[in-house]
Amino acid sequence: MREIDSNEIRQAVRDLAIAAAHDLEPDILDALLAARDRETGELAGNILELLLTNANIASRDRIPVCQDTGTGILFLELGQEVHIRGDLNEALQEGVRLGYEEGYLRKSVCDPLTRKNTGTNTPAVVHLELVPGDRITIRFLPKGCGSENMSSLVMLPPAAGTEGVVRHVIDRVLAAGSNPCPPMVVGVGLGGSFEKAALLAKKALLRPVGERSEREDVAALEERMLREINGQGQGVHGFGGITTALAVHMEVFPCHIASLPVAINIQCHAHRHKEIVL
Amino acid sequence: MPFTKEALASLQAGQLISLSGTLYTGRDQTHRRLCALLDEGKELPVDLAGQLLYYVGPSPARPGRVIGAAGPTTSYRMDSYTPRLLALGLAATMGKGARSAEVRQAMLAHGAVYLAAIGGAGAFLSKCVKKAELVAFDDAGPEALFRFEVEKFPAVVINDLEGRDYYALVAGAKKKGEG
C-alpha cells in the first residue's frame, strides 16, 4: 500500500489545467506542422502557419491557446494499492477551480437550465478507473464546445455493418463543417452500450494524434475514414484544402448481438491535453 | 470600422482581410439579453448601426494586459437572434462556421456581411486587441458586451453583399470537380 495525500492531487490538477490551456503537446504540434508542410491550399496553408504562431505566442506569453478553455474532463487511473489521505473528489474539483482562477482561464460552466455561470469552471467531469499497481495517472482534457457540440451517438442496426459505421462517421464529420475548428481529431467509440460508446469516443482522443489502433482491421478503417474525410476538400476551417482532419481514432468494445452503438466525439485543432503520474 | 457602404461593398467572399478600428462583442447571453430589451421596447446599450458584432467570450486578462485569448465562437448559436439585429442596421457579424438560410437572407435584405475569424487562434488574436472596454452585461462574465479597438485583426469574408457564401463555394467546387 502506498499513501498519497489529496493535497498533492489538488496541486497536480491545478498545474495540469494551467499547462493544458497554454502549452500544446508535441503530438498535436507535430501533426499541425506536418499538415502545414503538405497543405496545397493557399489560404489553408496560411491559416495553419497562423495556428502554429498562435501556439508559440500562447506558450511564450501565457495567453490561452483558445479562449474556450473548456469543461474540465479528468481521466483517473487509480492503482488499487494506493490509499488516498483526504477527499479525492474534493481535491480534483478544488484543483480545477484553482487552476482556472489562478491561471486566468475562462470559466465556462453554467447551470443547463438557468444558464447561470458557476463562476469556478466546476464541476469538472471525472472518469475514475481502478487499475493494478500503486500509482495514480491523471489526464486532463479541457474540452471546448465548438467541437464538443458536433458530437453524436447513434444506435445503428447490426445490418448497417462496417459500411454503415464508416458512412455515418464521415457524414457527421462533414456535416459539422467549419463549426468544430478543423483540422480536427475525430474520436469514434464503436460498440459497448449507450454510455460506453460515448466514453470510448472521448477516450479515443487521449491517444497520441495519428497513432493507429493496435487492431489491424480497425487501423485500416481509421485510415480509410481519414482519407475520405480529407478527400472532400472542406479543409482547414472550411476554407478548402486537404486537411479537414488530422486523425481518426477508433476504440472498439464488444456489444450486444442486437446492437451497434457508434459515438463520435470531435476535437478541434487546439487539442489540449496533459498527463501526470503520481 | 465602423464600415462605410463602399468598404462593405468591396468585400469579396474568400478574401483574407485585416480589420482595424472599433467593434462590439457578444455571444449567447448577450444576444438573449439584447433581444429581451427589444421585446420590452427598451433602448439597447449600444447603437449597432454600421457596426461589426464579433462573437467572442474572451478569457480573463492577466494583470497589465488588455484582454486574454479572444478567438471566435461558433456562429450558428446566434442565428435565431441575428435577423433582428441586422434590421437595426448592424453591418457585419464575425464568428466561425456557416450561417442559417434565414440569416443569409436577412444579410442580403439589409446589406450586411459575415466574416470568419480564425477559430482556435485566441492567443494570436489577443495581440490584435489594443483596447477592451466593458459596455454592458458585466454580470454575464465572459459573455459581457465589450467594445474592442483592434489592429490588423485577420478575418476571411464568408458572405458578401452579392450573396456569395465562401463555405458553399468551397464545398461546391469539390462536387463540381467530381462531376
The pLDDT tens digits for B60-76 are: 999 999 999 999 999 99
Residue of A36, A61, A66 best to disrupt the B interface, most CBs of B under 10 A: A66
CA nearest neighbour of B82 among B169, B159, B172: B159
Whether A39 is in a domain gets the answer: no
Compute the count of residue pairs across chains A and B with CB atoms less than 8 Å apart. 148
d(CA A225, CA A143) in angstroms, rounded, equals: 23
Whether A38 is in a domain gets the answer: no
In this prediction, residue B5 carries a pLDDT of: 84
Whether A34 is in a domain gets the answer: no
Whether A257 is in a domain gets the answer: yes
| Mean predicted confidence (pLDDT) in A127-149 | 96
Is pLDDT above 60 for A126? Answer: yes
Whether A27 is in a domain gets the answer: no
In chain B the domains, ranked by start, together with CATH numbers, are: 5-11+22-178 (3.20.130.10)
Task: For the beta carbon of residue A55, count every other beta carbon within 10 angstroms.
Answer: 24
Q: Do A222 and A198 lie in a common domain?
A: yes
- Buried/exposed B111-123: b ≥16 CB within 10 Å, e otherwise: ebbbbbbbbbbbb
Q: Do A169 and A196 lie in a common domain?
A: yes
Q: Do A184 and A151 lie in a common domain?
A: yes
Option in A177, A240, A270 nearest B120 (CB): A270
Q: Do A139 and A154 lie in a common domain?
A: no
Option in B14, B28, B123 nearest A64 (CB): B123
d(CA A206, CA A225) in angstroms, rounded, equals: 19
Q: Mean pLDDT over all residues of chain A?
A: 96
Is pLDDT above 50 for B111? Answer: yes
pLDDT tens for A159-186 read 999 999 999 999 999 999 999 999 999 9
In this prediction, residue B138 carries a pLDDT of: 87
Q: Is-cis flag, bond preceding A183, omega within 30?
A: yes
Q: Do A100 and A12 lie in a common domain?
A: yes
In this prediction, residue B177 carries a pLDDT of: 52
In this prediction, residue B4 carries a pLDDT of: 84
Contact with chain A for residue B142, Cβ under 8 A:
yes
Whether A41 is in a domain gets the answer: no
| Mean predicted confidence (pLDDT) in B83-100 | 96
Contact with chain A for residue B36, Cβ under 8 A:
no
Q: Do A83 and A172 lie in a common domain?
A: no
Is pLDDT above 60 for B178? Answer: no
In this prediction, residue B179 carries a pLDDT of: 39
| Mean predicted confidence (pLDDT) in B93-100 | 96
Q: Do A133 and A151 lie in a common domain?
A: no
User: What distance in Å separates residue A96's CA from the closest CA in chain B?
Assistant: 16
Q: Which residues of A touch B (CB under 8 A)?
A: 43, 46-47, 50-51, 53-55, 57-58, 61-69, 104-108, 115, 117, 119, 146, 149, 177-179, 181, 232-235, 237-240, 268-270
Question: What domain range is A197 assigned to?
Answer: 146-271
- Tell the residue number behind the cell numbers 495553419, with chain if given: A48
Q: Do A200 and A77 lie in a common domain?
A: no
Q: Do A123 and A178 lie in a common domain?
A: no
| Mean predicted confidence (pLDDT) in A32-52 | 94
In A, which residues are within 8 Å of B65 by CB distance?
A: 63
Contact with chain A for residue B97, Cβ under 8 A:
yes
DSSP labels for B16-77? Answer: EEEEEEEEEE--HHHHHHHHHHHHTTPPPSS--BT-EEE---PPPPPTT-S-S--PPPBGGG
Question: End of a domain among A93, A124, A143?
Answer: A143
Q: Do A155 and A138 lie in a common domain?
A: no
Whether A11 is in a domain gets the answer: yes
How many domains does chain A divide into? 2
User: What distance in Å separates residue B75's CA from the closest CA in chain A?
Assistant: 8
CA nearest neighbour of A258 among A156, A153, A152, A154: A156
Question: End of a domain among A143, A162, A193?
Answer: A143
The pTM of the full predicted model, rounded to 2 decimals, is 0.91
Contact with chain A for residue B111, Cβ under 8 A:
no
Nearest chain B residue to A230 by CA: give it: B174
Is pLDDT above 50 for A88? Answer: yes
| Mean predicted confidence (pLDDT) in A20-43 | 95
Q: Do A166 and A219 lie in a common domain?
A: yes
In this prediction, residue B176 carries a pLDDT of: 58
Is there a contact between A104 and B60 if contact means CB atoms under 8 Å apart? Answer: yes
Whether A206 is in a domain gets the answer: yes
DSSP at B161: T
| Mean predicted confidence (pLDDT) in A17-39 | 96
pLDDT tens for B135-144 read 999 888 888 9
Q: Do A151 and A267 lie in a common domain?
A: yes
Question: End of a domain among A124, A143, A162?
Answer: A143
| Mean predicted confidence (pLDDT) in A67-93 | 97
